[in-house]
Structure 1
Amino acid sequence: MKKSLIILFALAAVACSRKMQVDRPDFGVSLDPARRVADTFVYRLGDSTRFQFNGSVGNIAFYSGETGKRYDSRSTTYQLGKVTLSFSSKSEFGAQTNTLQVLATNNLPGFDSASVVNAAWKDISSRGKLATSATVVPFGTADLTDLVGNANDSLFIAFKYSGVTGTTQRTWTITDFSVNNVLADRNIALSTVAADVAYWTRYGNVWDPANGRWTPSATDLKITGGNASAATNTSWIITRPLYVGRIAPDVSTGVKSINEPDKTEYVYVYPAPGVYRATFIAYNHTVDEEKSTIREFIIKVTP
């Protein structure tokens, strides 16, 4: 019995130390040689780019080389361009003035009410136009780059409402809210009302009636002022932290998965003229190991 146990433990030890190995993919890609000019394959807009495959591989991913689909940008990166804010507003009912402030800070130590009220907010209301009536007014595109230190910095935008008892308080609606990091080759959306509807934070000294506070929806931010007898009301709504220089990883297109048969080609039509680096990643993997083969081509698409 003792000898049997020793043999079983020995076999278990050998099994645990043995990794599931995998072979590097034997994978080739080719294009029509008649399209080749030096190191570039040239196509006209609307042509089908036919990538011919040979070999057997478990998985294939494709980066077309377009913006947002580049192999070299497959990891999160940081780059600061111009940080911009835009939105539209309208102000209904009553005649109270200076009831809305647009504020920004890159230093918000906490989301408790004391931290919010005492933060080093910069009033940026004058960097654009605010409504004075029920007519919708575009704020314009305000440059906020001076409010952040570098690509790793964060930024918070706040709308601060003030309504005073004694006369009808104003009702404000904010639409088309957008914060962007504008780079030379693309705009990185940092925040929109629709994307961040679940992430706005609200504060106030009095919410009576209950609609006397900011309400975010997929289309707008809104606060409804009280009547002349309503209490004086100060109400805030604040974005989540906006990481101004963060650029999400570019994405690939899945061409083949391990449970699919081998493919002989992949056809892609580039939607615009330009020069693109097309990249295929072929890889085999187990739970213990992964090995890959990379094939790249320079594609030029002419009008």
Structure 2
Amino acid sequence: MKRSFIIILTGIAFITASCNKNMEVDVPSFQVSLDPARLVADTFTYRLGDTTRFIFSGSAGNIAFYSGESGKSYANRSVASRLGTVMLSFASKAEWGTQTNTLQVLATNKLASADSATVVNADWTDITSRGAIAVNATVVNSGNIDLTDLVSGADDSLFIAFKYSGVTGTTQRTWTITNFFVKNILPDQQYTVASLATDASYWLRYGNVWTPASARWTATASDLKIIGGGGTSPTNTSWIVSKPMYVGRIAPDVSTGIKSINEPDKEGHNYMYTAAGIYTATFVAFNHTLDEEKSVMREFIIKVIP
């Protein structure tokens, strides 16, 4: 009986040791070279239209390539927020009547909740005068309105509001807003933070008098619109407010897969840059299992001249 017990314990120990042993992974023996005739100092120089030929040697299970172009930079592979210049633009049109100062464009980064009292009493900055605005039925483009001063950093939010005021006694104006965009403009690329096409269902409406029923803002994928009432319609104040826009959020840069573990080793990779500039081209080669990954990085400075 004692011997059986010892055998069972020995078997359990062997199984445990086997389960704890991870599969070993080798560091890729991966190298990259370019035409040495192209090398000036530490930079490989090519003319626009040339094909950059990266020559491989060694072996790797997987290879990823970052060209260094906008959206394809190894340095930005994990970057989720970066604040550039926050720019608002839209077009406006004012129809019917002659009432003046009926539209205000407002912005804030402080909106604690979405109830009407909070919205109306928030610390709004009047940005109407920062851009051009219509005075009649002729469509006017606002131009680029810089709102960077209204946010405190890459993780801050921003709200845009259009506030309409119509006064009883004369025909109230009808306003139409089109081509609404908020963009985060960086030195190497730009991101659309908000647009009518993507945000039609997120606009919130507030007002103290909505008579007639049409005298309030509507939001579609093509415009924001408020139809003012006739001369006998009550005085009306109506707001439409954007979603919270996290102006610094960006998509991390991505690589292009050059080789997967199921493919044979490759001799190289050809790439053609489409614009003059200086790029950091990066290859990441890696071997992995479910338990472990080992990788190497090969990096080159590429200069493309006209």
Are residues 16 and 162 of structure 1, via their aligned partners in 2, closer, same or farther at CA, if it must alter by over 3 Å?
Answer: farther
Match of 1:147 in 2: 150
Between 1:122-131 and 1:256-265, the stretch displaced more is: 256-265
Name the aligned partner's letter for residue 100 of structure 1: L
Match of 1:119 in 2: 122
Are residues 234 and 12 of structure 1, via their aligned partners in 2, closer, same or farther at CA, if it must alter by over 3 Å?
Answer: farther
Rounded to whole Å, the distance in 1 between the matches of 2:59 and 2:15 is 33
Name the aligned partner's letter for residue 199 of structure 2: D
Between 1:257-266 and 1:279-288, the stretch displaced more is: 257-266
Q: Matched residue of 1:194: which SS? A: helix
Match of 2:180 in 1: 177
Shift of 1:120: 0.4
Name the aligned partner's letter for residue 106 of structure 2: L
Give the number of equivalent residue pairs.
Answer: 303
Match of 1:45 in 2: 48
Are residues 284 and 216 of structure 1, via their aligned partners in 2, closer, same or farther at CA, if it must alter by over 3 Å?
Answer: farther
Instruction: Give CA-to-partner distance per residue, 1:127-182, whole Å, 9 cap, x none.
Output: 12211221101112222233223444322111122334554432222122222334
- Residues 71 and 279, structure 1, Cα contact 8 Å, conserved in 2: yes
Structure 1 residue runs of 5 or longer lacking an equivalent are none
Are residues 105 and 265 of structure 1, via their aligned partners in 2, closer, same or farther at CA, if it must alter by over 3 Å?
Answer: same
Shift of 1:268: 1.1
TM-score (norm 2): 0.85
Are residues 19 and 237 of structure 1, via their aligned partners in 2, closer, same or farther at CA, if it must alter by over 3 Å?
Answer: farther
Instruction: Give CA-to-partner distance per residue, 1:4-25, whole Å, 9 cap, x none.
Output: 9767755653454333443222
Shift of 1:211: 4.7
Between 1:276-285 and 1:173-182, the stretch displaced more is: 173-182
Rounded to whole Å, the distance in 1 between the matches of 2:59 and 2:270 is 18
Are residues 154 and 35 of structure 1, via their aligned partners in 2, closer, same or farther at CA, if it must alter by over 3 Å?
Answer: same
Rounded to whole Å, the distance in 2 between the matches of 1:202 and 1:10 is 68
Q: Matched residue of 1:116: which SS? A: helix
Percent identical among aligned pairs is: 64
Q: Matched residue of 2:181: which SS? A: strand
Q: Matched residue of 1:279: which SS? A: strand
TM-score (norm 1): 0.86
Name the aligned partner's letter for residue 89 of structure 1: S
Shift of 1:49: 0.9
Structure 2 residue runs of 5 or longer lacking an equivalent are none
Are residues 237 and 260 of structure 1, via their aligned partners in 2, closer, same or farther at CA, if it must alter by over 3 Å?
Answer: farther
Rounded to whole Å, the distance in 2 between the matches of 1:228 and 1:260 is 75
Q: RMSD value over aligned CA atoms?
A: 2.9
Match of 2:253 in 1: 250
Q: 2:216 aligns with which of 210, 213, 226?
A: 213
Rounded to whole Å, the distance in 2 between the matches of 1:187 and 1:202 is 29
Q: Matched residue of 2:274: which SS? A: coil
Are residues 281 and 212 of structure 1, via their aligned partners in 2, closer, same or farther at CA, if it must alter by over 3 Å?
Answer: farther
Match of 2:163 in 1: 160
- Residues 78 and 245, structure 1, Cα contact 8 Å, conserved in 2: yes
Name the aligned partner's letter for residue 145 of structure 1: T
Are residues 225 and 289 of structure 1, via their aligned partners in 2, closer, same or farther at CA, if it must alter by over 3 Å?
Answer: farther
Match of 2:96 in 1: 93
- Residues 167 and 229, structure 1, Cα contact 8 Å, conserved in 2: yes
Are residues 283 and 180 of structure 1, via their aligned partners in 2, closer, same or farther at CA, if it must alter by over 3 Å?
Answer: same
The aligned runs of 1:285-300 (5 Å cut-off) are 285-300=288-303
Rounded to whole Å, the distance in 1 between the matches of 2:237 and 2:217 is 10
Between 1:70-79 and 1:271-280, the stretch displaced more is: 70-79
Rounded to whole Å, the distance in 2 between the matches of 1:30 and 1:298 is 12
Name the aligned partner's letter for residue 171 of structure 1: T
Shift of 1:78: 4.9
Shift of 1:272: 0.9
Are residues 17 and 36 of structure 1, via their aligned partners in 2, closer, same or farther at CA, if it must alter by over 3 Å?
Answer: same
Between 1:179-188 and 1:67-76, the stretch displaced more is: 179-188
Instruction: Give CA-to-partner distance per residue, 1:218-273, whole Å, 9 cap, x none.
Output: 33322333445555443322222233444432222222233444332221110111
